[in-house]
Amino acid sequence: MLLLTKNPEYINNVAPLYPTASQVPPHQALRSYRMVSDLHGVQVLLFDVFGTTVDWHGSLVDELAALGRKYAVDGDWSTFSKTWRLGYVNHIHEIAKGGTGSLNMDKLHREILEKILQSSEWKHFGAVLDEEQRENLNNAWHRLRGWPDTTAGLHTLKKHRIVGALSNGNTRLLIDLAKFSDLPWDVVFSSELFGSFKPDLKVYQGAIKHLSLEPQNCALVAAHMWDLRGAAATGMKTIFVKRAAEEPIGQAEVKTKSDGGEVDLVVDSFAELAAIFAEGK
């Protein structure tokens, strides 16, 4: 667990694609009163990071494309990024089920990168990258951009609740991301601290224990149903945030419990979530 210093200022260049809390349409503000009642008693909002808070895919594609241009290498950088990510996802689910392997995301990412660069599809790319370049590419995971609504939304939420990261990333990776993308966490929890990966229940339970709260006083915000199901199994509240291409099943299919679904709340952005908690205080 790592406590981070408070960042007192908003960034000024958040893209206008997502509204600030004060700009949320009146009909959304009205329904926020009903929504926040489903989260009564929540004191802490814990956020998944990769895909929920930061745009890993778009960020990696840009880094890879720039590297490709530098060395005159063409490739489907979206596929490269997704293959890299899939290797990680498969690994964490095996560990969460009791398997063995690295618990450090940086080391894991590097192992997967080497396998990709040795593959027949990408060995031409691997041939132009020396050790220093490979390490710098691996560190691209430390330079992921937040979604356009991320920083402003977190700053607003921070006024009303404790906000923290609960991620499968290793601690140094999460620190670097917080600094790079201005993520104003009050606290950072790395699953590495609990000896496993989400969705292993002991990761969520470990964070709850360190916060000195009951599960129902904590909510997980994530764009992945497997993560939210893990949190729900411990008694935490669950908030699904829609992020393009993150959820395998159609996002329109994710429903709140009041509508016959699995989660306590569904929102379109951190801005909407911030407006809900601002209204509900």
Residues 258 and 273 in one domain: yes
| Over residues 256-275, mean pLDDT | 95
SS3 of residue 45 by DSSP: strand
User: Cis omega before residue 148 (within 30°)?
Assistant: no
Q: Give tens-digit pLDDT for 214-263.
A: 999 999 999 999 999 999 999 999 999 999 878 665 556 899 999 999 99
pLDDT score of 280: 73
- Tell me, what CATH number does 262's domain have? 3.40.50.1000
Count structural domains, the chain. 2
Predicted TM-score (pTM) above 0.95: no
Domain residues for 178? Answer: 2-53+147-280
pLDDT score of 7: 38
Residues 169 and 253 in one domain: yes
Q: Give tens-digit pLDDT for 151-197.
A: 999 999 999 999 999 999 999 999 999 999 999 999 999 999 999 99
**Secondary structure E strands in the chain:** 2-3, 44-47, 54-55, 145-146, 162-167, 187-190, 218-222, 237-241, 265-267
Between CA 163 and CA 170, with CA 166 as vertex, the angle to 5 degrees is: 125
pLDDT score of 95: 85
Residues 263 and 177 in one domain: yes
pLDDT score of 35: 56
Residues 154 and 246 in one domain: yes
With pLDDT > 90 as the criterion, what percentage of the chain qualifies?
75
Residues 161 and 22 in one domain: yes
